[in-house]
Amino acid sequence: MITDSDIQETINMNTVDFNKPAKGIYKTNKAKDFHSAEHLLCLVISELMEAVEADREGRTFNDMGCTSDFEHFYRDESKLGFKEAFELNIKDTVSDKLANAVMRILDTAGVLGLQLKEIDKDNNFDYYATKDDFIKHSFTENVFHIIDRYFRSSEIISNRMSRMIFHINILCEVMDIDLLRHVDLKLRYNSLSPHKHSKWY
C-alpha cells in the first residue's frame, strides 16, 4: 500500500471526512504537475464521461460477485507485479473511472484549500432518495444527475463537492463497487506513473 500518511488516511463512508485525503492527493498530483483548479474541475467531468464510455463498452470489474475479480487481480499481482496486474484487470474500467472522479474532486479541494463537509448517510433523506433513484435509472442517467445536481445546487462549492462524492459513492453501492478499494489501488498505481502520467495534461 502507499506510504503517504495523508493519502493512507481511512475514509469512512458513513461519516465522510475527505479533508486529509484531499490534501494528500493534492500533494501527490502537484508533484506530477496536475494542480490548476480549473483544469481539475474540468477533469472531474471528464472522468465521469469516461466512466460512461467504459460502461458503454462493457469495461467492468466484478467487485462483489461470487468469484470476485479482486481474487484474479491479486493472483495476477503475485505473478506479474502490481502495475501489470492493475493494467490487465482494473485500469479504464467503470470502477477505475469513478475512483478517478473522486480523486479529482479531492485534488480540486486541495488546490482551492476547501474544507469538505462531513455527510452522515444514516437517517439522511438524500441518501435513501438518491439510492432509490439510482436503482431505478440507467448508469448514464445517474451520472447525468450527479453532474446536474452539482451545477444546479445553490450550496457553497465545498458542500457541492462533498455531495458529489457522496452521490458517486451511492452509485457505487448500487453497482456493488468497492469505491474505497479502487481509490486506494489507483493511488498506488498513480504513484508509479511518470511526470504528468505521460500526458500533455
Q: Is a pLDDT exceeding 50 seen at residue 190?
A: yes
Report which residue type is found at 145: H
**Average pLDDT of 158-163?**
91
- Name the most confidently modeled range: 37-51, 111-125, 154-168: 154-168
Closest Cα partner for 104 from 20, 36, 2, 15? 36
For 50-83, write each residue's pLDDT tens digit.
999 999 999 999 888 777 899 999 999 999 999 9
3-state SS class at 137: coil
Task: Report how far residue 21's alpha carbon sits from residue 9's, in angstroms, rounded to the nearest whole number.
Answer: 6
User: Higher-confidence residue: 120 or 150?
Assistant: 150
Residue 62 neighbours by CB under 8 Å, 6+ apart = 68, 69
Chain mean pLDDT for the chain? 82
Banded pLDDT at 112 (limits 50, 70, 90): confident
The 10 Å Cβ neighbour count of residue 66 is 5
Q: What is the pTM of this model?
A: 0.79
